[in-house]
């Protein structure tokens, strides 16, 4: 059985991705009013607001953050660019990751 997960789409992702994640509670950074927050500040407010997962295109985030301080899974979509057309090809793999056990820290989907 699929569990509903509270997801945050980073500001570097097209908001159209939400339509592919309807089984989950999905928000984007802009909707939450968190535009321009640094990655650390973003992870902190996500934890305060009860988010379960951050989905991002920022491949450097895994090297920039201390995930013992911010114990939240961060799914990094690894594609040629961050257009909806390019990223939509990763949706099946993303859904597989979301259906499995999620552990804190970076999880790459390519």
Q: Please, is 17 exposed, middle or buried when counting C-beta atoms within 10 Å of its C-beta (0-12, 13-18, 19+)?
A: buried
pLDDT tens string 67-89: 878 899 999 999 999 999 999 99
Ranges of residues in the chain with a pLDDT under 50 are: 1
Q: Would you state the pLDDT for residue 76?
A: 96
Q: Would you state the pLDDT for residue 2?
A: 61
Q: Would you state the pLDDT for residue 89?
A: 96
Place of tokens 């908001």: 15
Measure Cα distances from 29 to 48, 89, 91 in Å. Answer: 14, 22, 19
Q: What is the pTM of this model?
A: 0.95
């Amino acid at each position: 059985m699929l569990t509903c997960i509270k997801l945050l789409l980073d500001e570097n992702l097209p908001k159209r991705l939400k339509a592919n994640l309807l089984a989950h509670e999905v928000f984007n950074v802009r909707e939450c009013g968190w535009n321009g927050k640094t990655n650390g500040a973003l992870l902190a407010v996500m934890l305060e607001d009860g988010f379960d997962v951050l989905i991002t295109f920022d491949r450097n985030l895994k090297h920039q953050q201390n995930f013992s301080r911010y114990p939240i899974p961060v799914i990094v979509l690894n594609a040629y660019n961050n257009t909806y057309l390019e990223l939509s090809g990763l949706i099946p793999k993303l859904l597989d990751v979301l259906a499995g056990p999620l552990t804190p820290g970076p999880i790459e989907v390519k």
